[in-house]
Homo-oligomer: A and B are copies of this chain.
Amino acid sequence: RINSDRLWDSLMELAKIGATEKGGVKRLTLTDLDKQGRDLVTSWARDAGLSITIDQIGNVFMRRDGEDNTLPPIMTGSHIDTQPTGGKFDGNYGVLAGIEVVRTLNDRGIRTKAPIEVAFWTNEEGSRFVPVMMGSGVFCGAFTLEHAYAAKDTEGKTVGEELERIGYKGDQVPGQHPIGAYFETHIEQGPVLEDADKVIGVVPAVMGLSWYDCTVSGMEAHAGPTPMHLRKDAMQVAARIIPEVVAIANRYPPYGRGTVGMMQVFPNSRNVIPGQVKFSIDLRNVNDELLNKMHEEILAFVDKTSADTGLPIKIERVSYYPPCPFHPDCVGAVRKATEKLGYSTMDVVSGAGHDAIYAARVAPAGMIFVPCKDGISHNEIEDAKKEHLEAGCNVLLHAMLERAGV
């Protein structure tokens, strides 16, 4: 069993770097604060006897040798960058749980057959530079190193420059690092475990997602003198589509999700009928066939609404990730460890993207979820219970041991 206090203390120590007044953390990727965080984590790794490799996109691999170092390492990891209004646990927990696993193995003098590695991936959050999950994405070949290097923040600084500046542009070619199996512990970022009063979420898969921009074009006109029947009110047409996004999600339970999170109204004046309304649509499902049906339904509904109202509506898919089922061996290892340790458990499909979905493209992968307070993340009030973090880390330890062999 891992040392719960030590894990908690490390989490709180790392959370000091970029700590916000409201108790959160703001440590954007590739900033000076990110460098401080990286330096702290790698210093802990060195203290624990790990050797460190850095690849060209700044992914960091911290290695504990096994008995047979020709075997690919059993890896765990996550990210230590945060959202602008981030918390102490999102990502950081997955990295420090890995460090705690190593410390525990050291305490007990346990030697694994395969090597053990702890990784942190560059720019998972995507809030300073897009695309999100950049380090793991380059690693698995989802996009090129050049594409990632060229990404700019709002001030025009590039990923390539910033990696160099903070001293984390390594030598290793991304992806040329073997992985025997990959595990990631993470706070759930949703309310399911808390709602069901369970401690460990076994994650069979991550939902696929489809993102759209939808623009309704009407005609700006004065709210007073324009009779109702002569209006081309873009807001009213948008309001027909918004409930359908939820209706579509509800037609594909239990994993259908539909959200309109963003809206811009032009000219956005109280006595002007809106001439244009632009909004986002986020559709998710764990089954790609169902996600595709949802995709077709929203397109058809938008077409029909345009025909019914006579207003042009543009809908454009701006992102698509297929669902990512995790590997039976890894999911099985997590389930077995959970049962062995006697934690209350349920399967929780991940609704959010994680580095693990890119890792899963190059190695067997799996995830372990623990509850977070009110399901809240990407928020300074993000919180998690010490005993839940301990439980997730114990499950990680046993799942990794099972895959690595003792």
Contact = CB atoms under 8 A, between A and B. Distances in A.
A270 interface: yes
Interface string A218-233: 0111111111101001
A189 B272 CA distance: 11
A175 B4 CA distance: 79
A242 interface: yes
B222 A235 contact: no
A222 B268 contact: no
Interface stretch (A20-28, A71-79, A249-257): A249-257
Nearest to A319: B270
- Chain A interface size, as a band, is 35 or more
B222 A351 contact: yes
Contacts of A253: 228
Contact of A270 (B189, B280, B350, B376): B280
A207 interface: yes
A352 B242 contact: no
B224 A350 contact: yes
Contact of A235 (B226, B236, B260): B260
A235 B261 contact: yes
A265 interface: yes
Contact of A268 (B263, B270, B351): B263
Contacts of A235: 242, 260-261, 263
Contacts of A105: none
B263 A265 contact: yes
Interface string A311-343: 000000000000000000000000000000000
B282 A270 contact: yes
B225 A190 contact: yes
A239 B243 CA distance: 7
B261 A230 contact: no
B273 A223 contact: no
B221 A376 contact: yes
A131 interface: no
Contacts of A195: 230
Interface in A372-402: 374-379
A256 to B, nearest CB: 7
Given A228-B246, A263-B265, 19 more contacts: A188-B225, A190-B225, A190-B227, A191-B227, A192-B227, A220-B379, A222-B378, A223-B282, A223-B284, A224-B350, A224-B351, A224-B353, A226-B257, A228-B249, A233-B246, A235-B242, A239-B239, A261-B265, A261-B271
- Give me the 6 closest cross-chain CB pairs, A-B, nearest first: A190-B225, A224-B351, A225-B351, A223-B259, A270-B280, A239-B242
